[in-house]
Amino acid sequence: MATFPSANFSQGPPGESISDRIVAVLQRRILAGEIPIGAWLRHGALAEEFGISRTPVREALRILNAQGIVTIDLHRGARVNGHSGKDIREIGAVRAELEGYAAELATERINDAQLKRMQEAWQGFGELIQQFDGTEEDQQRQAQQWAESNHAFHSVIVEASGNHQLELTIAELRRRLPHNLSYAAYAGNARLLRRNLEQHEGIAAAIIGHNARLARKLMTAHLRASNEATARWVENRGSRV
């Protein structure tokens, strides 16, 4: 089973609400099979587990309902439908094109502070892959750092695009399909993790070199590959259920 970063509702990326974090956690659990298709999600049980009030839980379930991932029954809670491979590919294809455009814009608009954050995002992760020993604690540590690095890298490029409407649109797509879900397809595979890291490094080099066409091409290809890997992982998991 895939290892995902544990839930932490005391802190999160700027602009991300508690409801957004609950949505991301539940989506990960559903895709990983920890919450099976057909299961019922109860407001009270989730609020108790996460140590929060029922209000953000209700909002999170409304978001998942709008995405088609759950179906809400006013008397029973929310029944899990899940994301299909087709859903992941469709959402991912749109996000790939938009983030490719963001990378293109960033080649001319990124400032020094953003450039530094982009370059620092993956510092140390290569060494972490080499040190991987396969223990549960190590898997959790690797998953957490990958999620933080991945979020930082993609977010700073979208921010550096300087296009607020583009940023809002990509944020909505991330609510529907969190970008860190692709870790499920890479977990425990150093070769795939290194390839993923190399793709990020190539995108960064294109932005630093002001090569707009290449930055867009590499970002689009990177996200298409990530989403395809995620979609296949979901489909393969489903075939074994």
Percent of the chain predicted with pLDDT > 90: 48
Quote the domain boundaries for residue 22.
Answer: 18-80
Task: Assess whether 128 and 26 both reside in one domain.
Answer: no
Residue with tokens 């839930």: 7
Q: Which of the four pLDDT bands, split at 50, 70 and 90, describes residue 198?
A: very high
Q: What is the CATH number of the domain that holds 119?
A: 1.20.120.530
What total of structural domains would you count in the chain? 2
Task: Assess whether 193 and 230 both reside in one domain.
Answer: yes
Q: How far apart are CA 66 and CA 72, in angstroms?
A: 10
132-184 confidence digits (pLDDT tens): 666 677 777 788 888 888 989 999 999 999 999 999 999 988 878 877 778 87
16-28 confidence digits (pLDDT tens): 789 988 988 898 8
56-69 confidence digits (pLDDT tens): 999 999 999 988 88
Q: What is the pLDDT of residue 14?
A: 53
Query: 4 pLDDT exceeds 60?
Result: no
Most confidently modeled of 130-144, 183-197, 215-229? 215-229
Task: Assess whether 66 and 93 both reside in one domain.
Answer: no
Strands (E), 85-140: none
Q: Is 0.85 topped by the overall pTM?
A: no
Task: Assess whether 27 and 55 both reside in one domain.
Answer: yes
CB 6 within 8 A of CB 140: yes
Evaluate whether residue 147 is within a structural domain.
yes
Q: What is the pLDDT of residue 62?
A: 93
Q: Which two tokens stand for residue 143?
A: 């998953």
Task: Assess whether 74 and 127 both reside in one domain.
Answer: no
DSSP run (H or E) holding 73: strand 70-73
Task: Assess whether 120 and 23 both reside in one domain.
Answer: no
Percent of the chain predicted with pLDDT > 70: 88
Last residue of a domain, one of 33, 53, 80: 80
Least Cα distance to 14 among 117, 83, 96 occurs for 117
**Helix/strand/coil for 8:** coil
C-alpha count within 13 angstroms, C-beta hemisphere, residue 102: 28
Contacts of 43 (CB under 8 A, 6+ apart): 54, 57, 58, 61, 77
Mean of per-residue pLDDT scores for the chain: 86
Task: Assess whether 186 and 98 both reside in one domain.
Answer: yes
Q: What is the CATH number of the domain that holds 35?
A: 1.10.10.10
Task: Assess whether 135 and 234 both reside in one domain.
Answer: yes
| Residue 120 neighbours by CB distance under 10 Å | 13
Q: What is the pLDDT of residue 8?
A: 54
Q: What is the pLDDT of residue 128?
A: 72
Task: Assess whether 147 and 106 both reside in one domain.
Answer: yes
Q: How far apart are CA 95 and CA 118, in angstroms?
A: 19
CB 233 within 8 A of CB 183: no
Task: Give exposure, 128-138, as e/b (b: 16+ Cβ within 10 Å).
Answer: bbeeeeeeeee
Q: What is the pLDDT of residue 9?
A: 52
Number of H helices, E strands in the chain: 11, 3
Contacts of 182 (CB under 8 A, 6+ apart): 226, 227, 229, 230
Q: Which two tokens stand for residue 165?
A: 């409407």
Question: Is the Cα torsion angle 51, 3, 184, 37 positive or negative in sign?
Answer: negative
Q: What is the pLDDT of residue 21?
A: 87
Last residue of a domain, one of 33, 48, 80: 80
- 9 versus 195: which is more confidently predicted? 195
Task: Assess whether 50 and 151 both reside in one domain.
Answer: no
State the helix-helix crossing angle for 54-66 and 18-32, rounded to 10 degrees.
Answer: 60
Opening angle at CA 24, ends 19 and 27, nearest 5: 120
Task: Assess whether 203 and 91 both reside in one domain.
Answer: yes
